[in-house]
Structure 1
Amino acid sequence: MGYAHWEVVPTRWKDNDVYGHVNNVVHYSLMDTVINSWLIAEGGLDIHRGPVIGLCVESHCNYHAAVEFPERLAIGLRVGHLGRSSVRYEVGIHRADRSECVAEGHFVHVFVDRETRRPVELTGTLRSALEALRAG
């Protein structure tokens, strides 16, 4: 599996769609939530007042198995690529016991100046935290 960070999250009643399984867009929400909660807790990202913010410029998800409410999911997170101002997160969504990967995806963030929206170099605590998530 090779994920540096794991977080267990529950599915919610509203996550099921009319076909009786967790809708595909929920997987993206789970990935986004785990990434951003990690950035706040470990990377020191201040999403409300900090000078730097991360903008999602690419996302992707492959689905391997259906998930239904109520179920707890283990979300694995790692950094697949760390650039000067961007990062590609790789995310695995597994059953809570990690016995089966139900979806795999990635998100690419470009970190920018909050005001100008121009890319900024990743430095300090944020860069160190992202390096600690690197795959391999």
Structure 2
Amino acid sequence: MSEFGKYLREVRTSKKPSISQEALGDAVGRSKMAICQFEQGKTAPPKGELLAAIIDALGATEDEARELRFLAASQRGSVPDDIYEYFFSSSLIYSAIKTAKETGVDEAAWARFLSSMEDGNATAE
């Protein structure tokens, strides 16, 4: 089972009441089998409108939606659909990520940077 599939199942079954594969499939215009194949990692994770529809149908929280988008894109080896256009809007974004990788920026530094952006002060320490 893929990380995306495992997390999709976790989110789907954690809802009260839980959402069946069949109900989720019906809500997004796919079969129960299609949802099962996503969860088992037998097909590539959904993207674009289908992924957005799944997130909406699940009533996913903001954190759940972010994780579903990240895991789906990660498994496909791509940039998440919700930031794709922004990511490619400036080479500085690529440069910042590449520099962070090359200089060994760790999770804690990224967390501080994200926090500063959320506070309206987007400067790295």
Normalising by structure 2, we get a TM-score of 0.23
Q: Which has the higher contact order (CA 8 A, sep 6+)?
A: 1
Larger relative helix fraction: 2
Give the greater-gyration-radius structure (CA). Answer: 2
| TM-score (norm. length: structure 1) | 0.22
